[in-house]
Amino acid sequence: MHRAGGGSGSRRNEIIYEGRALVARRIESSTMSDLPADRQSPDNAEDSQGDEGTTANAAAEPITDSTPAVTVPASQSLQEAIERMELTVDPACVPQLDAYCQALWGWNEKINLTRHTTYDTFVRRDLLDSLHLADLLAESEDVLDIGTGGGVPGLLLAILRPDLNVHVCDSVAKKSRAVDDMVKQLHLPVAVHASRVQDVVDDLRFHSLVTRAAGNISQLLTWLKDYWMSFDRLLAIKGPRWVDERGEARHRGLMNQITLRRVAAYPMPGTESESVILQFTRER
């Protein structure tokens, strides 16, 4: 199992990204729109200052990049994409993860569930996030994925961590129907709720609520403000804008009696930013 919490594996990935920065940027330049809004970050502009002593006319001349384009062919299998990212995934999980991709992409032709429609984008976005999240969950936890969309991270957690008791919810009926069909295709022991998170936690209790791209921090805390007795913590996967979101939530008084910890951080492939997993708990 891939370890997410700042250990040697995480540092190894950082070294890989630094060593392949040019390749990574070129690969990702056409896929930045795949990121949820709160996880996008603009490319940093190159420093275009000339050397000392350069004349004004010379400095005004446009600077062109003579570096030849780097073309990296798309991975032809899920295993190849995993190996490119140098992730450690239980080999027994790979066939079911691949089956999930096929089921998701089949449904995506009917309704909009994901823009991660290649093995490489699936691994760099969905699988990477889910692996880090899986590392933070204790054995046999009861977990609810809020606003699951196409099943991320909930269905991936159920595949990677079969010891977990996973529930997923989405208030958009057509998305819930699609995820329910995927669960049946994959024979996963996952409960699918076609309802708001408030309705689910009003009836059931969980150890952890998990979410990615379902809402900003203010929205999440507003939805859950009256239901903290129904769960122990909220784990939210966020991008570089999480600091601004936290500031807005504080300004609105939503962070009162809430303890926030950044429990994981890891590079966003192809960018100079990082993803984080935030843990929210309520002071008892």
> How far apart are the C-alpha atoms of 274 and 268, rounded to whole Å?
5
* 255: nearest Cα among 229, 231, 275, 282: 282
278 forms bridges with which residues in the sheet?
Answer: 236, 262
Which positions ≥6 away from 156 have C-beta within 8 Å?
97, 100, 126, 127, 130
Ligand-binding annotation for 212, yes or no, is yes
Ligand-binding annotation for 147, yes or no, is yes
Pair of tokens at residue 246: 């936290």
Other beta carbons within 10 angstroms of residue 169's beta carbon come to: 25
Ligand-binding annotation for 76, yes or no, is no
Pair of tokens at residue 192: 């699918």
* 278: nearest Cα among 179, 190, 208: 208
Which positions ≥6 away from 154 have C-beta within 8 Å?
143, 145, 148, 166, 167, 168, 179, 190, 210
Which positions ≥6 away from 180 have C-beta within 8 Å?
192, 194
Residue ranges at the known binding site for S-adenosyl-L-methionine: 147, 197-198, 212
Known binding residues are 147, 197-198, 212
